[in-house]
């Protein structure tokens, strides 16, 4: 008897990604060209509308069921004192969203967006990635599959964010695994780390990279070994959206690191994605450049808790209406 490995289905999907609907994109650009105005006078609004058409297959595009999906996870690496916030802050943030009191709640109301917040076993942090794999393959694959279910209720624009104390350190570890360098090249202040704490973050990243060694050459192995549950779920959500022709907005360092895993496996894996905005975290700027992602907004929002994606969704909705009207 033979049995497939847990990652096999994801590898197969990454090898057979559906392409863009170029006819829909061409139609939208033709609609703008016919308008009684100077060519490309609306700048990136025209590009956003064309992108939306290409990846939804609808021309002119429409956005009627936008969804902000936020994935929350906790990390064993926080025991190295790499965050100024207690681990309990992740659950507190989830509860605040559930109660309607977070910034993203208000932005969703303003832009008429749906909102889902996913608690990814916050009571069971992932293993300390400096000493063992954060997740085993089965657990990582299951979390990716769970992330794919974010679109199950139906959506035509998926906006992704994250919650997780310590996940800027985890994101830095993934960036080193995927792009190279040292921990010091990719860590930053995160949620307010001082110089000493940033040094501990860099040490933790370097220890993780040294421990896992050549196993990190495979992107999905890197995801399970030095990633975390919210990273795996976001990667699954991005992949599911691609298969279902749903355009995606990415927000924050963690979501960008999760996206980078898919890009490493297939450079075309993020063609249906736009970057909502840049955080002040230096690693985010560098990673966006490596991935060829140009942000829609630059508002200095420092965390990827979905607020940036929700704001950018309003811009995408306006682009769709502009092309249609």
Averaged over 123-136, what is the pLDDT? 97
pLDDT at 40 over 80: no
Q: CATH number of the domain that 243 lies in?
A: 3.40.50.10210
Residue pair 129/82 in contact by the 8 Å Cβ criterion: no
Averaged over 110-116, what is the pLDDT? 97
**Domain presence at residue 309:** yes
**Domain presence at residue 28:** no
pLDDT at position 2, please?
A: 42
CA distances from 243 to 13, 63, 196, 223 (A): 8, 18, 44, 20
**Domain presence at residue 5:** no
Number of structural domains the chain divides into: 1
User: Domain range holding 247?
Assistant: 63-316
Q: Which of 18-27, 106-115, 295-304 has the lowest mean pLDDT?
A: 295-304
> Cα separation of 281 and 325, whole Å?
38
pLDDT at position 42, please?
A: 87
Q: Categorize the per-residue pLDDT at 34 as very low, low, confident or very high, splitting at 50, 70 and 90.
A: confident
pLDDT at 3 over 50: no
Of the candidates 10, 1, 8, the one whose C-alpha atom is nearest the C-alpha of residue 236 is 10
Q: Categorize the per-residue pLDDT at 190 as very low, low, confident or very high, splitting at 50, 70 and 90.
A: confident
Residues 6+ apart with CB under 8 A from 219: 178, 261, 262, 264, 265
Residues 6+ apart with CB under 8 A from 301: 277, 279, 307, 308, 311
**Domain presence at residue 145:** yes
pTM assigned to the model: 0.96
Of the candidates 147, 148, 155, the one whose C-alpha atom is nearest the C-alpha of residue 114 is 155
**Domain presence at residue 83:** yes
**Domain presence at residue 273:** yes
> Cα separation of 115 and 243, whole Å?
21
Q: Residue 305 catalytic?
A: yes
pLDDT digits (tens, 9 = 90+) for 229-244: 999 999 999 999 999 9
Average pLDDT, the chain: 94
Averaged over 272-301, what is the pLDDT? 94
Of the candidates 280, 262, 282, the one whose C-alpha atom is nearest the C-alpha of residue 271 is 262
Q: Categorize the per-residue pLDDT at 191 as very low, low, confident or very high, splitting at 50, 70 and 90.
A: confident
pLDDT at position 1, please?
A: 36
pLDDT at position 78, please?
A: 96
In the set 25, 221, 230, 305, the catalytic residue is 305
pLDDT at 200 over 70: yes
Question: Which residues face 317 on adjacent strands?
Answer: none
Q: Categorize the per-residue pLDDT at 41 as very low, low, confident or very high, splitting at 50, 70 and 90.
A: confident
**Domain presence at residue 119:** yes
**Domain presence at residue 68:** yes
% residues pLDDT > 70 (the chain)? 98
């Amino acid at each position: 008897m033979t049995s497939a490995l847990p990652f096999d289905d994801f590898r197969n999907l990454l090898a057979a990604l559906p392409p863009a609907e170029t006819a829909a994109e061409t139609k939208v650009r033709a609609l703008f060209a016919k308008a009684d105005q100077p060519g490309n006078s609306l700048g990136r609004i025209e590009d956003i509308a064309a992108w939306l058409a290409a990846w939804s297959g609808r021309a002119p595009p429409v956005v009627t069921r936008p969804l902000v999906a936020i994935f929350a996870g906790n990390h064993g690496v926080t025991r190295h004192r790499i965050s100024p916030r207690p681990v309990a802050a992740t659950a507190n943030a989830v509860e605040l969203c559930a109660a309607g009191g977070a910034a993203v709640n208000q932005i969703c109301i303003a832009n008429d967006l749906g909102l889902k917040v996913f608690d990814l076993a916050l009571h069971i942090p992932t293993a300390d990635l400096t000493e063992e794999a954060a997740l085993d393959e089965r657990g990582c694959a299951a979390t990716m599959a769970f992330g794919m279910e974010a679109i199950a209720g139906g959506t035509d624009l998926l906006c992704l964010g994250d919650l997780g104390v310590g996940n800027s350190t985890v994101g830095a570890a993934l960036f080193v695994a995927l792009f190279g360098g040292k921990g010091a090249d990719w860590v930053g202040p995160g949620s307010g780390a001082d110089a000493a704490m940033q040094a501990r973050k860099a040490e933790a990243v370097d220890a993780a990279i040294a421990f896992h060694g050549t196993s990190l050459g495979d992107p999905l192995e890197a995801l399970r070994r030095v990633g975390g549950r919210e990273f795996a779920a976001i990667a699954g959500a991005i992949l599911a959206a691609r298969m279902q022709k749903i355009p995606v907005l990415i927000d924050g360092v963690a979501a960008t690191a999760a996206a980078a895993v898919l890009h490493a496996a297939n450079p075309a894996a993020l063609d249906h994605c736009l970057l909502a905005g840049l955080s002040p975290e230096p690693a985010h700027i560098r990673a966006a450049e490596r991935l060829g992602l140009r942000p829609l907004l630059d508002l200095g929002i420092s965390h990827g808790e979905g607020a940036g994606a929700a704001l950018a969704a309003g811009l995408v909705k306006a682009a769709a209406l502009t092309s249609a009207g």
